[in-house]
Amino acid sequence: MSLRHFFNPRSVAIVGASREKGKVGFEVLSALVEGGYTGKIFPVNPKADEILGLKCYPDLPAVGAPPDLVIVVVASKLVPMVAEQCAALRVKAMIVISSGFKESGEQGKELERQVLNVARAAGIRLIGPNCIGVMATVEKVNASFAGKLPAPGGIGYFSQSGSLLAAIVDMANANGTGMSKLVSIGNKADVDELDMIRALGEDSHTRVIAGYLETIADGDAFIRQAERVSAQKPILLIKSGGTVSGARAASSHTGRMAGAETAYECVFERAGVVRCESIKAQFDYARALASQPLPAGNRIVVIANAGGAGIMAADAIDREKLALATLSETTGALLAEKLATAANIANPIDLLGDALADRYEIALRAALDDPGVDGVLVMLSPHATTDCVETARTIVRVSHEKSGKPVLASFLGAAKISAAVTVLREGGIPQYDSPEAAVATFRVMVEYSLWRSRPKRVVRLFPVNRRKVELIIDRHLRQNLFQLGEMESKEILQAYGFVTPKSAIANTSEQAANIASQIGYPVVLKVWSPDVIHKTEIDGVKTDLTTSQAVMDAFDLMMYRIPKKRPGINIPGILVEEMCHRGREVILGMTRDPRFGPLMMFGMGGRLVEVLEDVAFYPAPLTAEEAKEMLVRTRTYQLLAGGDGGGEEGVDIDAIAEGLQRLSQLVTEFPGIKEMDINPLIVGPSGTTPVVVDAMIGLEPTMTT
Amino acid sequence: MSLRHFFNPRSVAIVGASREKGKVGFEVLSALVEGGYTGKIFPVNPKADEILGLKCYPDLPAVGAPPDLVIVVVASKLVPMVAEQCAALRVKAMIVISSGFKESGEQGKELERQVLNVARAAGIRLIGPNCIGVMATVEKVNASFAGKLPAPGGIGYFSQSGSLLAAIVDMANANGTGMSKLVSIGNKADVDELDMIRALGEDSHTRVIAGYLETIADGDAFIRQAERVSAQKPILLIKSGGTVSGARAASSHTGRMAGAETAYECVFERAGVVRCESIKAQFDYARALASQPLPAGNRIVVIANAGGAGIMAADAIDREKLALATLSETTGALLAEKLATAANIANPIDLLGDALADRYEIALRAALDDPGVDGVLVMLSPHATTDCVETARTIVRVSHEKSGKPVLASFLGAAKISAAVTVLREGGIPQYDSPEAAVATFRVMVEYSLWRSRPKRVVRLFPVNRRKVELIIDRHLRQNLFQLGEMESKEILQAYGFVTPKSAIANTSEQAANIASQIGYPVVLKVWSPDVIHKTEIDGVKTDLTTSQAVMDAFDLMMYRIPKKRPGINIPGILVEEMCHRGREVILGMTRDPRFGPLMMFGMGGRLVEVLEDVAFYPAPLTAEEAKEMLVRTRTYQLLAGGDGGGEEGVDIDAIAEGLQRLSQLVTEFPGIKEMDINPLIVGPSGTTPVVVDAMIGLEPTMTT
């Protein structure tokens, strides 16, 4: 259902309208009037005849014609009754500004539930409670006490914090930042971030969606909604409160390494959402995305009238991993011909301190015409002879003539450039008070542009033996066992197409030697116990055994020593396993985030995985490209690709990526798997099959297969 | 020599003063007059009788009484002559604003040399050329065309970029930021960053030294000067242009891993200098350091009147690795008693949206009184009923009454808070437009405070055999060999107290077997060749040989295979070496920065060192604390300390730190050593001695021992 009755109602009633200045019931009414709202306004107040020249009504039914939108500012205990009246009148939308609901304890929670039930039953959409209202600038609807309506513009904003929204309104008004809709979603009883992303996505005035969130209710729906809308418009979010939450208990390396922020980081990335660390950064990005085209690549030209400023911008470009564009020979020749001889015609282009608007025009035209340039940062330092305003006008004019590539400005200073900054703003050129802020914005634009042009996501489905996995998991659950050991984990992985070494369990040293001679030497012995997750920690692994004597000795030593280290341990047997060919050790893993579902992990494997922290996370299900990208993000990738300078052969990258996809399929098809590690997976040269040398799986105690 | 003649001259001459508005010669003169300078002013211009009511002189000698300070704005080719006149008149100081010197090519370079020679010979201090001048606010000296004099205050600034300084002056004037001295050092012919740091360090009006640098002339002197002055006042520097420079050629892992920025990062850290990434960050930090006391620790309290703002601040505190202070029981009880019942009296303290100044006063007093609190961030969101100005006044008053702990403010919004922001500024409370900026400032204050309170640096000198090292190095230099192989590098390290395994060179496989049986099995064979630096890359290492047959086979295989891989390679022999006990592999190394001298490196060792990038750098000579701190900074440290969750025994940390100190002594005493690696150094449990398993040393081709 659309939210249009909030943004463009034909009539509005304010229940709890007040005559008293300073009271919310007065401020909201007067904001609506002063904002220039052109529809009908019905103040509801049994103790007043008129307020601000508008006729007052004793209660909602007395209004007669049902209003599209009802704004509620009465005490929380009265709100359920108002909701009933709205339902009776077939009102379309309510904004409940009143507080005293879920945020204030059990009683409030119950009130909120009552109001929501009434609204849901009557098909009324509800914003709030405990919010500061809604603004729609083009429609001249100020149904809030957040301040004056900002100028119309392309940025839509929703906020879980009302006071933050009030501060944003104040800043937008002071800086002339154009906004489309601003919504305080308060307790999110009904309208939440999903509705807002959809509504702002559909809103023709909104070019950029920005928001502040403290919680996300439905992780799965969030991913889908955000991914769909991001394909049309950028979404810039501040997600706060994340770093405060503690680590979760986990047995797997993967679970232990997934921090509180990991899920948000990789889910936002998957959905194309730009995560912002501060309001300032969010508006830095939003202003450019609302007014400038997306860059096709990361090659930036800097134009400046001072060497120092150009160097600072070049430093920032390097830090943000963008590229200083290399100008074409044609561009170089053109600049050399037309600019002052002492000017630096390489990038950054230094027009020198006496540059007037004409030199800026030459450089900007040349840069925008150069096919090797994806975006331009124009910097200006106000020297004594600089004509700031004319330069700003020129930048606006040239960038409009040659649209297609983003142009950002960073004029330095304050009073001397203030008139020019107004010209830039009105001309749609975002201005930044520092080159660093402008370059960070370019980075975000490039990343979003890349995300938009990524290939269509196709998740490959492998033929697998699902039934076998069901049986193994069910068997464990029936026995209340939630931790699968190496043997069982490997059986599950085999069913999903993974290769494991030949192996069998031995109960005596003689049996171990027999198994070893059947498998063929060398072999590995591993303790097999439901009480042990990380075997090497208790010296439960002995590798490279080449004789039957060595196998028997190793068997007996484990049986003797391990119970001394871990008294009471249950050791049903010892695993005798084929020794793998040598290769690189990597870890593949999964941990299930309670909100966003399975997060896949890839990294350098072995015992040091948690120390090295060289891992990458991404939400399942994975496409081939995403699996490959996870590999590329790690330092380990250099080694795997054979690029460590030693001239060594690389390993089969695609085989690892396929392993990640198979694992992704497993954990997607079995939501009861809570966490798992394959560590190590041994990978060899191209054409060889990776081998699962060890693995563990943890189940959700509540699972049903 | 002091720079007081620049900052407080009794008389000033302006050579090249002009009547024409817009010309530099007019702008500088009028700036001096309008700035309220109270000394004598002598405009020099042969074509004018008076300018701005001041009598003009045809040339400098005509002035009669020699001026303290001469400002030069004539064409560059005339400047040597003006300098001669200054010398004849015994002028104390010159500011050469004119450009056309070193920055403009060979001819200008020669002119600059001439001017400098005259000035040096006559004892004249010179600022510039190619600069925009000098400002001293308290003294009312505006000898510049950088704009109007900012308000007096505690921040001193010097800049290698004139246009940047002009932008800073414009911003300081717009924001009311108080400044002491502002100096454009231009081409730094005479007065450079060292003079500026010293002068601002001695200046009683300057509480914080800030600067913008593109180059540092004398690295060694910079470290000493900055370290000395940082102990008194914070130094905040932007060093730009760093990231653009390319990597240097290096054979050692250490040299290859030291990026263009490594030297600046660790030298600034050693000297207590705060490196800033942007002008905005620099002023964020400077404003707090100029007006607030240093925090004793990192425990911060956040006071806010909105939940969202408090959470954002708490997130930032977490990201910046500061701590949210835990309030004492007394404080908690006090707040519970005096604040609104619904207020959150934990940290962040949420005073609720209707908080007035009285609630802020209660919370701020309580926080400042709590011994578990090191600093307070006061946030305010402008709600309808908020009294911003009165709250600001209260914060100023309480923080003055209870001085000793830093108080920073972050009032959100714009128009609604502008009057309050003025109150805060005038009361010396730094205000930040976002909690993130305030918290980043706290981080810098905490780090600087820690640096100030670090123990006195004591570099231990070990008894060593310096003569032996001299002999080895001289022998190589005489033969024009600049790369020392494993054997020679180990001899040098032995002379500095390192332990190496027993070993000898074999020329035949039989000899290898003989040596092995004398050393005792198992042994390692390593190719010994002046043409090889990283032996494993050509399979030139074979470990764990347990029989004479294995030794002979390995010898012959190397002799057969390596020349096939590297045709023409010279292999004088093969090293037979005692096999080391197992332990952790670490790398100790050094690379000599051309500007700052030897940089020590520590990290996880082995072949993967460059892939893992788990290393720490610090300039030599190292103290015991610094060596230890290098270890702690790596992820490897967790492993070494035995903290990887496996319950394994840790290694002898102090022995590694001693190794770093010995290496630091070696490279300090032998400046001809250009780079070196000890990789790996095998380290065992406490009480065992680390063993150098492999090492390489590179010499400077120009060295003399």
Residue bearing tokens 């906020």: A159
Contact map slice: B 210-249 vs A, CB within 8 A: 212, 214, 238, 240-244
Selecting from B171, B381, B635 the residue whose C-beta is nearest the C-beta of A414 gives B171
Question: Which residue from A minimizes the CA distance to B160?
Answer: A308
Global pTM reads 0.89
Q: How far is A385 from chain B (nearest CA, A)?
A: 7
For residue A453, the 8-state DSSP code is T
Chain B residues near residue A646 by CB distance under 8 angstroms: 534, 536-537, 607
Phi, psi of B391 (to 5 degrees): -65, -45
Q: Which amino acid is at A519?
A: I
Mean pLDDT across the stretch A493-521? 93
pLDDT classification of A464: cutoffs 50, 70, 90? very high
Instruction: Write the DSSP string, A356-413.
Output: -HHHHHHHHHHHHH-TT-SEEEEEE---TT--HHHHHHHHHHHHHHTTTS-EEEEE--
Say yes or no for a CB contact (<8 Å) between A412 and B610: no
d(CA A445, CA A299): 12
Which has the minimum average pLDDT: A448-462, A539-553, B409-423? A539-553
Say yes or no for a CB contact (<8 Å) between B164 and A383: no
Question: Domain A502-578 belongs to what topology?
Answer: Dna Ligase; domain 1 (3.30.1490)
Angle at B289 between CA B283 and CA B293, to 5 degrees: 155
Is the Cβ–Cβ distance between A574 and A539 less than 8 Å?
A: no
d(CA A612, CA A591): 19
Q: How far is B546 from chain A (nearest CA, A)?
A: 15
Domain range A4-206, CATH architecture: 3-Layer(aba) Sandwich (3.40)
Contact map slice: A 538-597 vs B, CB within 8 A: none
With an 8 Å Cβ cutoff, is A60 touching chain B?
no
d(CA A250, CA B625): 36
d(CA A485, CA A535): 10
Contact map slice: B 466-505 vs A, CB within 8 A: none
Both tokens of A591, joined, read 């941990």
d(CA A445, CA A296): 9
d(CA A50, CA A56): 5
Instruction: Write the DSSP string, A651-702.
Output: B-HHHHHHHHHHHHHHHHH-TTEEEEEEEEEEE-BTTPPPEE--EEEEE-TT
Mean pLDDT across the stretch A100-106? 91
A121 pLDDT above the threshold of 50: yes
With an 8 Å Cβ cutoff, is A610 touching chain B?
yes
Predicted confidence at residue B536, as pLDDT, reads: 80
Say yes or no for a CB contact (<8 Å) between A611 and B636: yes
Q: How many CB atoms lie within 10 A of CB B526?
A: 23
The helix (H) or strand (E) run that includes residue B363 is: helix B357-369
Chain A residues near residue B166 by CB distance under 8 angstroms: 381-383, 413
Is the Cβ–Cβ distance between B631 and B653 less than 8 Å?
A: yes
Say yes or no for a CB contact (<8 Å) between B171 and A22: no
Q: How many CB atoms lie within 10 A of CB A480?
A: 7
Selecting from B240, B384, B645 the residue whose C-beta is nearest the C-beta of A145 gives B384
d(CA B159, CA A67): 64
Phi, psi of B387 (to 5 degrees): -100, 90
Say yes or no for a CB contact (<8 Å) between A537 and B307: no
A543 pLDDT above the threshold of 60: yes
Same fold, B502-578 and B584-699: no
d(CA B46, CA B58): 4
Question: Which residue from B minimizes the CA distance to A584?
Answer: B608
Chain A residues near residue B145 by CB distance under 8 angstroms: 384
Question: Domain A294-452 belongs to what topology?
Answer: Rossmann fold (3.40.50)
Say yes or no for a CB contact (<8 Å) between B167 and A214: no
Selecting from A161, A353, A385 the residue whose C-beta is nearest the C-beta of B22 gives A385
With an 8 Å Cβ cutoff, is A614 touching chain B?
yes
Selecting from A238, A306, A319 the residue whose C-beta is nearest the C-beta of B163 gives A306
Both tokens of B311, joined, read 């959470």
Residue bearing tokens 């098809």: A669
Mean pLDDT across the stretch A330-355? 87
Both tokens of B705, joined, read 């021992």
Contact map slice: B 156-185 vs A, CB within 8 A: 159-164, 166-167, 170-171, 173-175
Chain B residues near residue A636 by CB distance under 8 angstroms: 611
Selecting from B163, B309, B318 the residue whose C-beta is nearest the C-beta of A383 gives B163
B701: buried, middle or exposed (CB in 10 Å: 19+, 13-18, 0-12)? exposed
d(CA B29, CA B52): 8
Say yes or no for a CB contact (<8 Å) between B318 and A243: yes
Predicted confidence at residue B375, as pLDDT, reads: 98
Full strand arrangement of the beta sheet holding B274-275:
B141-144, B133-136, B179-184, B152-159, B208-213, B235-239, B274-275
d(CA B73, CA A466): 85
Among A280, A240, A274, A239, residue whose Cα is nearest residue B313: A240
Q: For residue range A167-218, list pLDDT tens digits in order.
A: 999 999 999 999 999 999 999 999 999 999 999 999 999 999 999 999 898 8
Average predicted confidence (pLDDT) for chain A: 92
* Domain boundaries along the sequence of chain A: 4-206, 294-452, 502-578, 584-699
Contact map slice: B 438-467 vs A, CB within 8 A: none
Per-10-residue mean pLDDT, chain B, length 705: 90 96 93 96 95 95 93 97 96 96 92 97 96 97 95 97 92 95 97 97 97 91 96 95 53 80 90 94 97 97 91 92 95 90 83 92 96 97 90 97 95 93 96 96 98 94 97 93 91 96 92 93 90 82 90 90 87 90 88 93 84 90 96 89 61 94 98 94 89 94 59
Q: How far is CA A506 from its chain centroid?
A: 49
Q: How far is CA B203 from CA A165, A623, B8, B155, B208, in A?
A: 45, 63, 11, 11, 10
Superfamily of domain B293-452: Succinyl-CoA synthetase domains (3.40.50.261)
d(CA A51, CA B191): 71
Chain A residues near residue B647 by CB distance under 8 angstroms: 537
A341 pLDDT above the threshold of 90: no
Among B661, B652, B610, residue whose Cα is nearest residue B464: B661
Is the Cβ–Cβ distance between B609 and B657 less than 8 Å?
A: no
Among B67, B75, B130, residue whose Cα is nearest residue B93: B67
Say yes or no for a CB contact (<8 Å) between B171 and A242: no
Q: What is the count of residue pairs from A and B with beta carbons less than 8 Å apart?
A: 211
Q: For residue range A259-292, list pLDDT tens digits in order.
A: 778 889 999 999 999 999 999 999 999 999 999 9
Predicted confidence at residue A164, as pLDDT, reads: 92
One of 3.30.470.20, 1.10.10.10, 1.10.1530.10, 3.30.420.40 is the CATH number of A584-699, namely 3.30.470.20
The helix (H) or strand (E) run that includes residue A541 is: strand A541-545
SS3 category, B77? helix
Contact map slice: A 265-294 vs B, CB within 8 A: 277-280
Contact map slice: A 346-375 vs B, CB within 8 A: 353
pLDDT classification of A490: cutoffs 50, 70, 90? very high
Residue A626 CB partners (closer than 8 Å, separation 6+): A270, A457, A618
For residue B686, the 8-state DSSP code is T
pLDDT classification of A687: cutoffs 50, 70, 90? confident
Q: How many CB atoms lie within 10 A of CB A228?
A: 14
Selecting from B384, B608, B612 the residue whose C-beta is nearest the C-beta of A27 gives B384
Q: How far is A204 from chain B (nearest CA, A)?
A: 28
Which has the minimum average pLDDT: A205-219, A440-454, A690-704? A690-704
